[in-house]
Amino acid sequence: MTTQSSQTPPCLPKSTLLILYFIIFLGSAGFFITIPAYVNLFLTDHSLAIAKVMPLEDRRSLFGTVMSAAPFISMFFTPFIARFADRYSRKVVMAICLLVAAIGFVMPVYAIIAGSITLLFTGNMINSLGSASQPIAQAVLADNSQGKTKATLMSFVAVVMTAAMSFGPALGSKLTALYGAQAPFYACLLIAIICFILLHLIRLPKQATLQQENPFSLSAPLSRSQKGLLPCLAIVFLCQFSWSLYFQNIAFILPQKWQLAVEGEFYQYFMLAIGVVMIASLLFVPRLLLFWIPLPNALRSVLSGAGIGMVLLAITPTPTTHIMAMIWTSIMVASAFPLYITALSDRASDGDQGWAMALSSAMVGLAWTLTGYLTAILVNVDLMLPTFIAAAGYVVTVILIPRQTQVGSQKAKV
């Protein structure tokens, strides 16, 4: 039968939280830490055997194929994997995903030894499937919290993912330089094994399971969701799409507008500042906003601020004013993430949290994959066009914000 959730979700122990965040970190770090290794393998003259026989242009195309195919596979399969987790056991499915990820990190090591592109490509694909542990871990957090607590936990999710994005490539680069292209894969393999062991040391709260339901069905969780779930998914996509347009536009703006090389110190400190500002904002701003105003109003405020910030970034005349606009925009963009993820979670039933988080991850992956190509096309029309489009994207998200949902999501059929 269908029941309403009237009880406050149990508070997760700190040890459980740390392990779940560690698993979420692996889901992002597994991609970002290995990027320098793939660059070394495909684009230098002393990597795989193909570097000696394949022209650089062809290797660049192969590199792009390998790096873009994995997100597409993850986007397609992750929602179904999460549905299995919701239907049976999130802990069991997370453990399986970690084992799959470990296999995905082992295969590239053997691929490098054997000089096999096929093994390297296959390992990357397998690892992308293993990253489904990330949204399932997010589902555990979302299913056992509500209100400001849920927004705070989602803020820490964003902190962990931002840390992986900001520091992962630097760590992978250092490991590759010191120990060779195999080292980043060994590092990720170690993290996966540690996560697998730690996961078996904790007990997760009992989840609302979906009895006698086809896990391949996507219409069932949609029918249980509250009004506004699809607009919330659209907000996730548009926010990530808009931020990614600007983030990737930076590599064109600095050298073409102010002759600041991307290998120079300004660019390095600029990118570092974005990471630091976003992490600091995630730790404090969302919870402070929710202390004073309801979730929809808080979300409307930060998304409006992000749109204004994008306009300022597009019209700033000097590097100094651009930095000032970037700080404001980064605060708004970072603060929006836990708010719109919380809004999305509130509209999915308790038993469908893994599915909802997987869909949000799919929207994030789709947005960043699309903008990687579109940004290069748009700057050929006008240098600042991607940033202006990003501003328009945030305007649309403000329009899409649904009204406040009731506290506590509907329980799944048990």
Q: Residue 261: pLDDT band by 50, 70, 90 thresholds?
A: confident
Q: What is the pLDDT of residues 77-103, one digit of tens each?
A: 888 898 888 888 899 999 999 999 999
The answer to whether residue 139 sits within a structural domain is yes
Whether 161 and 58 share a structural domain: yes
CA distance 259 to 266: 11
Domain boundary (139, 173, 205) is at 205
Whether 45 and 102 share a structural domain: yes
Residues, the chain, total?
414
CA distance 391 to 394: 5
Identity at 339, one-letter amino acid code: L
Domain that holds residue 140: 12-205
Whether 126 and 31 share a structural domain: yes
Whether 151 and 234 share a structural domain: no
Whether 244 and 161 share a structural domain: no
Q: What is the pLDDT of residues 277-296, one digit of tens each?
A: 999 999 999 999 999 999 99
Mean pLDDT, the chain, rounded, equals 85
Whether 201 and 254 share a structural domain: no
The answer to whether residue 2 sits within a structural domain is no
Specify the pLDDT at position 190.
Answer: 95
The answer to whether residue 47 sits within a structural domain is yes
Whether 286 and 351 share a structural domain: yes
Q: What is the pLDDT of residues 174-197, one digit of tens each?
A: 888 888 889 999 999 999 999 999
Q: What are 230's two structure tokens?
A: 């699809």
Backbone angles phi, psi at 34, to 5 degrees: -85, -10
Alpha carbon dihedral 95, 96, 102, 103, in 10-degree steps, equals: 170
When pLDDT is averaged across residues 300-318 and rounded to a whole number, the result is 97
When pLDDT is averaged across residues 39-47 and rounded to a whole number, the result is 66
Whether 238 and 157 share a structural domain: no
Whether 54 and 161 share a structural domain: yes
Look up the CATH number of the domain holding residue 342: 1.20.1250.20
List of residues 6+ apart from 215 with CB closer than 8 A: 80, 83, 84, 86, 87, 88
Whether 150 and 192 share a structural domain: yes
Number of domains present in the structure of the chain: 2
Specify the pLDDT at position 29.
Answer: 84
List of residues 6+ apart from 89 with CB closer than 8 A: 207, 209
Specify the pLDDT at position 293.
Answer: 94
Whether 287 and 258 share a structural domain: yes
Quick one: residue 147, left, alpha or beta (phi over 0 = left, psi -120 to 50 = alpha)?
Answer: left
Q: What is the pLDDT of residues 371-399, one digit of tens each?
A: 877 888 899 899 999 999 999 999 999 99
Burial class (CB in 10 A: 0-12, 13-18, 19+), 370: middle
